[in-house]
Structure 1
Amino acid sequence: MSVLFPPTTHLPPIAKIASFSITQLLDALTYLQSLYYPEVRGSHRKRVQAPVFNGEQNSRLPHEDDNELQVIRSDAFERSYSIRWLIALIAQLEVWQDLSHSRDASLDDLGKLEPIFTHTEMIVQQAASLLAICAGVAAAGIFTRNFVFGSIDGHRRVEAQLTDIPLDNDDYGSVGAQTWGGACVLAEMIVEDPERFGLDFSSDDPKSRRLNVLELGAGTGLVSLVVMKLLDTLPSFNHREVSVVATDFHPSVLANLRSNVNANVPSMHDQITSTHSIITHFLDWSSFSTAPRPDCLSYPFDVVFGADIIYEAQHAVWIRDCLKGLLRRPSDSIRSPAAFHLVIPLRPTHTFESSTVESVFLKAPDVDPNDDADLVILSKESITCDAHGDYTRGQGLDEDVEYLYYKIGWSNARL
C-alpha cells in the first residue's frame, strides 16, 4: 500500500468536483475504497516471513492493516468529510444526467460529458456503497475487493477481483454472498505451496490425464478462481487439460459466483481454445446421493476444496456423502492420491458444528488400511490469524481468529 493521506487533503475539493475528469473521480473513489472498505476478517495468517513480490520484501501486503490506516479510519471528521464528498459527487452526477436530457445542452457539452454518461451507473453504485460503509452499515452495500496472493519466494503472484453482495436476512444459506476469512486463508496457502494441495503434477506424465478440481460451497468463488489463475501460471500445466467446477446452493450466491467468474476469466469463446476451463454449477449436498448428476459432476475429482462450509450440524455428513461419489478413488496407475482440503474457523457460536468434522471423518491411524476404503482425516493443522477487518464493529486489533485445516482422503490410498 502506498503512502496514505486523509480524505480532506487527497480528494478533489467538493466545490470543484464538476471540473475534474471521469478518470480523476474514479481514482478518488478507488482511494476511498482502499481506506474504508472493510477487510475480510481473520484473513491474515501469523507468520515469521511475509511473501516477496518482484524480488523485494513486501512488508505491507495489500490487505494488511496498520496503525496509519486505522488512524484515518477512526477519525470521525475525515469520515464525515468523505460522506459529504460522496453526497456531493452523486448530486453532481444527477446534474450531468439532467443536462444530457436537456434541449439546451450544446453538442460540445454533450461531447465532453459522454465519458461520464457511460460510467454513471458504476460511479453511483460505488459511491452509494461507500456511503453505507462510512455510515456503519457495510453489510447493506455491494462492493468489490481486489485480492493478491504470492509465494514466499516471490515467483508466483495471483490476483482476483471479487464482488460481495448483501446477505438475504431471511435465509441463512445466503452467507456465501460475501467473502469469508477461511477462503482467504486457503487461497493464500494454495498459492504459496501448490504441491501440498495436489496442484503440481511434475512427477506424473503431463499428458496422461485431465486434472479435475472441485470446490464445495464456493461462495464468491475466491478459491476456485485463485486455483484457476494459479494453474495458468505453472509451467507443468501449460499443455495439460484442467477443469475447475465451482459449486453452490443458494440462488443469489450462485448468481454472484457466476458473475465473479465471468469478471475474472476470459470469455467462453477464449476458454474453448484453452486447455483450462472453469464453470459454476448448482449442488445440493443434502440430495446429492439421490438426485441425477449433471455432466460436470459425472467424473471423479482429483482435488476438492472447501472453505468455511461447516456451519450446520448436518453439513459434515452431507459433505462426506458427496465426497464418496465425487473424490477419485485410489489407483496404482496414478501417483498423486486425491484429497479434500477443508478449512474451518473455530467460532465460539459453532463449537458443536465444528466438532462434527472429527466425528464424521475418522483419523487415518484409527482405520485399518486393508479394510474397505473409507474417507479419513490424513492430517490436521491449526492456523492463527489476526482478526483485522472488523473496524466498523469496534473489534480490537489484538484479537485472533483460529482455523483448522484438514486434509481428507481415502484410507487405502498409497501416500
Structure 2
Amino acid sequence: MAPAVEDLPQMWQRPRYASLLEALQSLELSPPIWNHKRRRSDILAEQESLATQRKAAATRYLSSIISSPLAWLDDDDQREEVWARASKRMSERCGRTAMGEVVRAWPFGWDGVHVPYEPFEIVIREPALTGDSLGFKTWGSSYVLSQHLPRLGATSLFRLFDESFGEPRPDVLELGSGTGLLGLAAAALWKVPVTLSDLPGIVSNLKVNVERNASLVEARGGGPLRVGPLTWGGTGEDEVDQGLFGQPRQFKIVLAADPLYDDEHPALLASAIEEHLSLDSEARAVVMVPQRDDTTMRLRDAFKAAMVALKSPIICDEEDELAGQDDWVEDEEGGHVKCWLGVFSRRKTVGSEQIE
C-alpha cells in the first residue's frame, strides 16, 4: 500500500532529487491482475487498497510537484525527470486507458485451493493505449480462457490430445492475439505449436511478447511459436502473411478471445475461422466473448448466426459461462463480467439434417 501523502517529502522542504524519485515510485499504480478463482475477500482487499491510493490527497501532492519550478534542483535533466514521473503517476489515476507502458506477469497453476500443474508466469508488455490500440491491452477474457485451457484439453478437445490416437499435437491458431497471452498460454499448457496473429500495427508488440516468453514455452514442451499479420477479410501482402496463412484450413484448433467490437466483426470472424479451421472432424474453434452489455451480447448472437450461415456451417456444440474481470472500468462491481464460451465444430449435412 502506498504511504500516507503527509509522510512524503513536501515541496516546501526542498527535497533532494533521489527523495522525490523515491516518493513518486511509491505512488505508482498498476492495473490489478484479476483471477476469477480468487477469494472474494482478496479481491475486496485489493480494491480497497487501490481506492485508498487514489484519494484526492495523492492527486494534490502530484499536482504540487508538477506545478513547482523545482528551483533548488540545479540539473535541468533532473527537473524534467521529476515532472515526467509525476505526470505519469497522475495519468495512472485517470484509469488504464491513460496509463503509459505496462509490463506485468500473469500467474498460472494456482487456483487458491491446489496446484494442478507446476506454476509459471507469462510476462506481457502492454504499450500505452492511444487511438485505436485495443490490441495493446490484455483483456480479462483472454486470461479467463487461458486458465480454462487445461479443462478444455481434458474434455471438449480431449480427442485432439489423446495420445492413444497416435496423432501429433494439433497446430493452434489464435485470431486477434493482441498482446499474445492466450496463444502463449496455449503453447505452454497444451505443449503445442501455436501461430499468433493480429492486425499489422499490433504484430510488432506481439512479437516482443512472444520472444520474451519463448524460452518458457520451450521449457514446458510447447512451440514452435510463429507470429504474423492476419487481417480478417484482407488480401494484401501487408495485411496477410502468406507464408503463414497462404494455405487454407491448416489448424485443428482456432482460438479467439474478446474479438467482437463492431457490427462487421461477427461475419469477418466467422469467415476467418472457416478459412483457417481444419476440415478434420475433430477440429474445434473456441471463442470467448465477455457479456459486458447489450451490445456485446448482440454481437455474440450475430457471430453465432454468422457461423451457421457459412456455406459450410460451423456449429456451436457446447456453451458455457465463466466469471472474469476487466480492469478498464472503475465501478462498484470492480469490472466483474460474465464471459460466454462457445466450442464450435464443422458438421456435414445431408438434406436439411446435420450429421457428425
TM-score w.r.t. the length of structure 1 is: 0.65
AA partner of residue 342 (structure 1) = V
The alignment status of 1:190 with 2:149, answered yes or no, reads: yes
CA contact (8 A) 2:252 2:280 kept: no
CA distance in 2, matches of 1:202, 1:191: 11
Q: 1:317 to 1:137 in 2, by over 3 A?
A: closer
Q: Which residue of 1 aligns with 2:140?
A: 181
* Per-residue CA distance 1:90-116 (angstroms, 9 max, x = gap): 9999939579xxxxxxxxxxxxxxxxx
AA partner of residue 383 (structure 1) = L
Residue in structure 2 matching 1:264, options 207, 210, 213: 213
Q: What is the CA-CA distance between 1:182 and the residue it aligns to?
A: 1.8
The alignment status of 1:310 with 2:260, answered yes or no, reads: yes
What is the number of equivalent residue pairs in this alignment?
339
Q: 1:399 to 1:282 in 2, by over 3 A?
A: closer
Q: 1:389 to 1:184 in 2, by over 3 A?
A: same
CA contact (8 A) 1:128 1:141 kept: no
Residue in structure 2 matching 1:403, options 339, 351, 355: 339
* Per-residue CA distance 1:289-317 (angstroms, 9 max, x = gap): 99986232336112211011122223222
Q: What is the CA-CA distance between 1:328 and the residue it aligns to?
A: 2.0
Q: Which residue of 1 aligns with 2:116?
A: 155
Q: Which residue of 2 aligns with 1:230?
A: 189
Q: Which residue of 1 aligns with 2:351?
A: none
AA partner of residue 254 (structure 1) = V
Q: What is the CA-CA distance between 1:84 and the residue it aligns to?
A: 5.6
Q: What is the CA-CA distance between 1:77 and the residue it aligns to?
A: 1.1
1:338-349 mapped onto 2 (5 Å cutoff) = 338-346=283-291, 347-349=293-295
AA partner of residue 228 (structure 1) = A
- SS, match of residue 361 in structure 1: helix
1:32-43 mapped onto 2 (5 Å cutoff) = 32-33=27-28, 36-39=29-32
AA partner of residue 207 (structure 2) = R
The alignment status of 1:382 with 2:309, answered yes or no, reads: no
Give unmatched runs, 5+ long, in structure 1. 52-57, 100-119, 232-236, 332-336, 364-371
- SS, match of residue 260 in structure 2: coil
Please, what is the CA RMSD of the aligned residues? Answer: 4.5
CA contact (8 A) 2:105 2:121 kept: yes
Point out the more displaced range, 382-391 or 277-286. 382-391
CA distance in 2, matches of 1:159, 1:92: 44
Q: Which residue of 1 aligns with 2:92?
A: 133
CA distance in 1, matches of 2:355, 2:321: 25
CA distance in 1, matches of 2:87, 2:96: 11
CA distance in 2, matches of 1:228, 1:13: 50
Residue in structure 1 matching 2:306, options 337, 348, 360: 360
Residue in structure 2 matching 1:143, options 92, 102, 107: 102
Higher RCO, 1 vs 2 (CA within 8 Å, ≥6 residues apart): 1
* Per-residue CA distance 1:22-81 (angstroms, 9 max, x = gap): 9xx59x73x544xx22347xx553xxxx46xxxxxx7776x7763531441342113433
CA contact (8 A) 2:65 2:86 kept: no
AA partner of residue 310 (structure 1) = L
Q: 1:75 to 1:355 in 2, by over 3 A?
A: same
- SS, match of residue 162 in structure 2: coil
Q: What is the CA-CA distance between 1:339 and the residue it aligns to?
A: 1.0
